[in-house]
Structure 1
Amino acid sequence: MRKPSIDGLSPLPPADRVESVLRAMAGFIAQSKLGAGDRLPTERQLTEALAVGRSTVREAISQLQVMGVVESRKGSGTYLLRPFSADAIHMPLVIDAAHLRDRLLQTLEVRRGIEMEASAVAALRRTPADLVVIEEKLDQMERVHIAKGTSGREDLAYHLSIYDATHNPLFRQLLEQIREAFESFFDEPFDRPDFARRSFPFHRELFDAIRDQDAPKARAKTLAILDIVEEDIKDMSQ
């Protein structure tokens, strides 16, 4: 296993830092001829060489983990699982619709297919550790919802924990491509804090289905949540 030097890495311009880090790392891997099992430069080395913040480097590494390109080993470092090129870095998908209503409805069509299947797969594959994480996210969502009447960020974290419980990295990779559109559901669309509030009780029922490894019920509860989301998009955008 070779320990690479950091020659060939230079400071990055301010714009598009995460994408720039990804492309710089792709170029560095190709130039250094690194292969599976080789260790990458440390976060500190990348931060100094590229003149970016550590949070930017961590976000870039996180995206590479989602893509199945690298893995981080606690106390050891980050290792390359397979080489990749700058051309392999996916650009986010863009919803070309002028109105928020149309963007949300178009994204919802994609969400419905992905999330129903993700919930079913999570029900079949979840581990005891996954259940702990999902329930923690759900409990936090419920606390915030009861206190404030809304819980956008916590709601998002809950759904992401279900994606992770599938143990299929493609679900997260697909989400990364529509992240901006996906997150718009959790930012009080139409300036309405009550958006999709009626779906709140179904989140606990979805957790129960995943806990009980009831895949059909998990699909049904996910569909119930998203049906309410669709109704609110249409009602609140009139």
Structure 2
Amino acid sequence: MESREYNKVINYIKELIGKGDLHSGDKLPTERELAETLSVGRYSIREALRIMDAMGMIESRQGSGNYLITNIEKNLTETMALMLLVKQVDYLQISQLRRAIELYAYGCAMRYLSDSQLKDLTDLVEKMKQNTGRDKALLDKQFHDRIIAGSKNTLIISIMDSLSKVCSELIEKVVTESAPERELTLMTTHENIVKGLVTKDLSLGIQAIHLHYDLIDSEISR
């Protein structure tokens, strides 16, 4: 009975969203309002709220109530982290998915990125050359985030953000601890990724992205 009751609460919230009565950022009905509307107990309501919070659908603000946030990234990141923990997937599989997504996003970015955005990417590469350690890793993340954002696809951006968070330590290690020869190759891939965008040379950019992920995959396999 309790299982059916908390599902009733979750389905009701989904129904409000579907009807357009509840939007991201809106406050959810109070526990009392939900109890009266659905004729369910407070325990079931709190269980439903806990589940929706874990799913990244809502957040609780102390003294204010519960709000719809539709945090897709939180849900995806926690799911991927759990799948890694129980060995349902491994880092190589995650890297393969990231590669596929970035290859698609690159083609979109070639169509959508403006000249000023391309200049920003060029500047990021120059900054990467001048930095080391964590600063360099952060610049690398910004670089790839901009390419993914160039897809103008919210789902792609959310999925890639989650995948990157799950393997952030591994990526940082590749960027900051590579041997000089490997580091030079990695920097060249970034230069060619930008060059491909600027000159509209899709094959150059795709080749550079493949080489970039080959370096990451070789680190995973070591």
Task: State TM-score, norm by structure 2.
Answer: 0.59
What is the DSSP-based 3-state SS (H/G/I as helix, E as strand, rest coil) of the residue aligned with 1:93?
helix
Structure with higher helix content: 2
8 A contact 1:6–1:49 mirrored in 2: no
Aligned to 1:226: 213
Alignment map for 1:4-23 (pairs within 5 Å): 8=30, 19=53, 22-23=56-57
Identity of aligned residues (%): 12
Note the aligned Cα RMSD (angstroms): 4.2
Candidates 129, 132, 147, aligned match of 1:162: 147
**Alignment partners' CA distance in 2, 1:211 and 1:61:** 37
Candidates 178, 183, 188, aligned match of 1:201: 188
What is the DSSP-based 3-state SS (H/G/I as helix, E as strand, rest coil) of the residue aligned with 2:80?
coil
Candidates 114, 117, 122, aligned match of 1:135: 122
Aligned to 2:111: 124
Change (3 A) 1:212 1:22: same
**Alignment partners' CA distance in 1, 2:65 and 2:124:** 35
Candidates 58, 64, 68, aligned match of 1:49: 64
Letter matched to residue 152 of structure 1: A
What is the DSSP-based 3-state SS (H/G/I as helix, E as strand, rest coil) of the residue aligned with 2:144?
helix
Aligned to 2:168: 183
C-alpha displacement of 1:177: 3.9
8 A contact 2:57–2:71 mirrored in 1: no
C-alpha displacement of 1:176: 3.7
Letter matched to residue 126 of structure 1: L
C-alpha displacement of 1:206: 0.7
| Residue deviations 1:178-210 (CA, integer Å, cap 9, x gap) | 243342332326xx7127523122101111111
Count of residues in correspondence between the two structures: 176
Change (3 A) 1:168 1:130: farther
C-alpha displacement of 1:155: 1.0
Which is higher, the Rg of structure 1 or of structure 2?
A: 2
Q: Unaligned stretches of 5+ in structure 1?
A: 10-15, 29-45, 52-56, 68-88
What is the DSSP-based 3-state SS (H/G/I as helix, E as strand, rest coil) of the residue aligned with 2:79?
coil
Letter matched to residue 122 of structure 1: A
**Alignment partners' CA distance in 1, 2:85 and 2:28:** 43
C-alpha displacement of 1:220: 1.1
| Residue deviations 1:83-108 (CA, integer Å, cap 9, x gap) | xxxxxx65532443679xx8332222
8 A contact 1:150–1:194 mirrored in 2: no
What is the DSSP-based 3-state SS (H/G/I as helix, E as strand, rest coil) of the residue aligned with 2:58?
helix
Aligned to 2:40: none
Letter matched to residue 96 of structure 2: E
Q: Unaligned stretches of 5+ in structure 2?
A: 1-20, 32-49
C-alpha displacement of 1:227: 1.4
**Alignment partners' CA distance in 1, 2:54 and 2:140:** 30
Candidates 124, 135, 138, aligned match of 1:153: 138
Q: Tell me whether 1:112 sits opposite 2:96 in the alignment.
A: no
C-alpha displacement of 1:133: 3.3
